[in-house]
Amino acid sequence: MKISFSLLLLLLISKITELNLLFSLCDISLIHLKNSQVFSKVIPSKLFESMGMGIPILIALPLGEATKIVNDFSCGVIIEPENAKQLAQS
């Protein structure tokens, strides 16, 4: 299966208010990193922006710091990283 995109939109954000506007347009926040144990200790900054804006989070990281936050605050769904089937079902 090949997916192609006919439009790529690159936005240069110069003010935090512009970033907040973009986040307000999101239905979910996808945070996806490679399935490597090094990422179990990482907390992507996007996680905090998403939580602050009240956007549900779909996080695909190895179990660790970031997934603990999502679990503790019940602010999203945790899926296995690099699992396309699980991602599609979420």
> What is the arithmetic mean of pLDDT over 31-35?
95
Residue 40 DSSP label? G
Cα–Cα distance, 50 to 73 (Å, whole number): 12
Cα–Cα distance, 65 to 41 (Å, whole number): 5
pLDDT tens for each residue of 49-81: 999 999 999 999 999 999 999 999 999 999 999
Mean pLDDT of the chain: 87
